[in-house]
Amino acid sequence: MESLERYLLISAIVLFVFVFYRWLLKFLRRKDLTGNYPYLHPFSKPILSGREVLVFELPNSTRVSAQIRALNGDVVVACFDEEFKSGKHQKQIDTSKAKSGTYELKITFSNQVTTRRIEIEN
């Protein structure tokens, strides 16, 4: 009976260490990625339609612009071009002006350009 208790205790400790290690790595990677650079959060759903919320974090004040572009590079929708302070921001973008299909969302920060492929269904 004592060996079973010892086995369960060791198993619980190993599981705790493993889960904590995975959480710590994920936390540290996110901090490394977002330290001095803007971070664009993923959308809440894979296929966009109508008005969607774009979430991003800025380490300092900067100008941010967003465009929905066709895969050949043509601008389909100019979403916004504004100055933002540091911190987490949410901005609505209107995808209803684009036909259903695959596009690129181009976000331009002062020191970084991020392009993300998006699916729109209207």
What pLDDT is attached to residue 36? 73
- The pTM for the full model equals 0.67
Q: What is the DSSP string of the chain?
A: -HHHHHHHHHHHHHHHHHHHHHHHHHHHHHHHHHSSS-EEPPPSSSEE-SEEEEEEEESS-EEEEEEEE-TTS-EEEEEEEEEE-SEEEEEEEE-TTSPSEEEEEEEEETTEEEEEEEEE--
Give the pLDDT confidence of 22-33 residue by residue, as tens digits. 887 777 766 555
What pLDDT is attached to residue 24? 79
